[in-house]
């Protein structure tokens, strides 16, 4: 729940592994966090299919 809260508050960067330092692409980080959050959605019907993940 904390990860979702951070994401909704626009603080998704706080979910990043700090060992990455500054060597990351913000767009890729956002896409990965978003995909991860969707994959653990409480309601399975709201989770994306593999094909939907590929298209994101």
Per-residue pLDDT at 47 exceeds 70: yes
Q: What pLDDT score does 42 carry?
A: 85
Q: For 18-34, what is the mean pLDDT?
A: 87
The Cα 34–Cα 51 span in angstroms is 15
Mean pLDDT, the chain, as a whole number? Answer: 84
Q: Which pLDDT score, from 0 to 100, does residue 50 have?
A: 74
pLDDT band at 55 (very low <50, low <70, confident <90, very high): low
Looking at residue 53, what is its pLDDT?
61
The answer for residues whose C-beta is within 8 angstroms of residue 31's C-beta and 6 or more apart is 56
Q: Which residue has the tokens 């399975």?
A: 44
């Amino acid at each position: 729940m904390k990860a979702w809260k951070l994401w909704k508050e626009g603080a998704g960067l706080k979910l990043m592994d700090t060992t990455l330092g500054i060597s990351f692409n913000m767009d890729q980080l956002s896409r990965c966090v978003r995909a991860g959050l969707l994959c653990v959605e409480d309601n399975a019907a709201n989770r994306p299919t593999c094909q939907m993940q590929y298209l994101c």
